[in-house]
Amino acid sequence: MGRAEIRRFQRAADEVVSFLKPRLSSDTRTKVIAHTDADGIAAAAIFARCLYAYNVPFTVRFTRPLRPSEILELGKEKYSLFAFLDQGSSQMVAIHKFILGKGHDVIVMDHHVGEFPEHPDLAYLNPHQCGLNGARDVSASGGVYSVVEHIDRSFRPLVGLAVAGAIGDRQEVFSGFTGVNDVLAKRAVDLGFLRVGEGLRLIGRTLSPVVECLRLTTKPYIAGISGNLAACRSLVNTLGISPSSTLAELGPKAERSLRDAIFARAGSLATNEEFCHALWGTTYTLGTEDLVGPRELRDYMAMLNACGDLHKPEFGLAVAMGDKTAQSEAFAMLNSHQEQMLGALGWLVSHLGSFKLTPKLRYIYSGSAVDPAMIGEALSRAMESGLIAIDRPIIWLTDIGTGEIKVTARSAPRLAMQGVDVGRALERAANAVGGWGGGHDVAASARVPRGRMDEFIAKLDQTLSRGVERPMLTS
């Protein structure tokens, strides 16, 4: 994508600024509805810090994308402004009917595909409406940041949250960031809000002793090291590394020695592009004290994701808004999340032979063996770790105890470039069996009736075989 599309996005952000500014007052009771992942929590924190600075009364609700019946109930609440962050694009019909139709103002800042009929009480910012790709060029938190930065430059130090949100949504490709993300990251470095380095990209880089960091690593998952405390101690001792040091404290020479030792133990994975990219590359460190929390953005992203997955997103929000007292609880959730992710990936590794193939996808059903909240991230990490072939979309199905199956889909970016869009395919196949779903071309989810799981898989395979027509983007 070129500069013209980025300029269109910036103009669209300015339109949201013009809509929002007159409403930044104590008279505007605001309800913020945000997604529960790192990007959604970061977006909510950026927006909430803006509202707080202008004394706007607000509440934040974290949720998966709402169903029409839930939006109906939402429209009955006594708020003058509803802000949908990292969701809303696919719910516009219900938002028009039940919220705008009731005389409320609405802002949608999202990066998922959707349609936006014009309405005088609606403002929206969506990269797909500007010729950009919402799965790669900008996240929801990057969109929200683009708005609040134009309201007041004092919000510029929050750019670290926008970059953390983009990392959380896996928008940093092998060559780095693209589109708006690239602009924001480079500006953050130029202004001193971020520092760029090179090193091991393991979660816990700035938080955990190196032995514990290696034991808990699932991004990437390293067979023989992940979950194996004795092997981690042996590796570190062999290299003469202080086991109490963090990765960030090792120094370039020791860190490269550890990298080379991991590659030696990884065997054939050492030549896997996904694995290598997950293990070693660019690191981003906060250069400002305006943000409370971990200094390394991957640690920050992982903390926010952990709070969301463990159903306590409010702790991640509190830290991102500057509450130092919430840090210990958020860090404890990160540690718990890492342990649970280790278990989820351990289950997957032991069941790799259970994947089934159709002409257009591979899938696995785990029943109730794995927490549904862990599955999307676990599947992404399995792909990044080279554990699963990525020649076709990968589907993980699990029971969620409501007579429904949760469907999680992931696909490689190169498949998306060939026209494979799992978000639209899941939406169409789920609708055909009485369920619902959607998402990006490379990551999506759905819920379908338990008794129609096999029918859903057949419909999904048929849909992917036929291809799904994408909406035309105006220039």
Residues in the chain: 475
Q: What is the pLDDT of residue 472?
A: 34
**Which of the listed CATH numbers 3.90.1150.10, 3.10.310.40, 3.40.250.10, 2.102.10.10 matches domain 354-466?**
3.10.310.40
- Architecture per CATH, domain 3-191, reads as Alpha-Beta Complex (3.90)
pLDDT at 223: 86
Q: How far apart are CA 28 and CA 105, in angstroms?
A: 10
pLDDT of residue 449: 95
What pLDDT digit, counting tens, does each position of 111-146 carry? 998 888 899 999 999 999 999 999 899 999 999 999
Query: Cβ(108)–Cβ(141) under 8 Å?
Result: no
Tokens of 226: 């992940």
Domain range list for the chain: 3-191, 197-286+292-347, 354-466
Which positions ≥6 away from 454 have C-beta within 8 Å?
none
Token digits of residue 86: 């990292």
Q: Give the residue from 438, 341, 375 showing the smallest Cα distance to 128.
A: 438
231 Cβ neighbours under 8 A, 6+ residues apart: 224, 225
**Calculated CA dihedral for residues 8, 9, 14, 19, nearest 10 degrees:** 110
Measured distance CA(465)–CA(468) in Å, rounded: 9
Tokens at residue 43, please? Answer: 């977006």
- The average confidence (pLDDT) of the chain is 93
Q: Please report which confidence band the pLDDT of residue 32 belongs to, taking 50, 70 and 90 as the band edges.
A: very high
Cβ atoms of 382 and 221 within 8 Å: the answer is: yes
The 10s digit of each residue's pLDDT in 276-315 is: 989 999 999 999 999 999 999 999 999 999 999 999 999 9
Q: Indicate if the pLDDT at residue 469 is higher than 60.
A: no
Sign of CA dihedral 375, 364, 219, 337: positive
Percentage of the chain exceeding pLDDT 70: 98
Q: Which residue has the tokens 């849909």?
A: 463
Q: Is the pLDDT of residue 89 over 50?
A: yes
The answer to which of 183-192, 245-254, 461-470 has the lowest mean pLDDT is 461-470
The pLDDT-based confidence of 402 (bands split at 50, 70, 90) is confident
- Going from the C-alpha of 61 to that of each of 25, 30, 308, 320, 428, the distances in angstroms are 20, 11, 12, 15, 28
pLDDT at residue number 74: 96
- Which band of pLDDT confidence, cut at 50, 70 and 90, is reported for residue 243? confident
Q: What is the DSSP letter of 389?
A: -
Beta bridge partners of 363: 356, 395
Find the largest Cα–Cα distance for the chain.
68
Reported as a single tens digit per residue, the pLDDT across 34-81 is 999 999 999 999 999 999 999 999 999 999 889 899 999 999 999 999
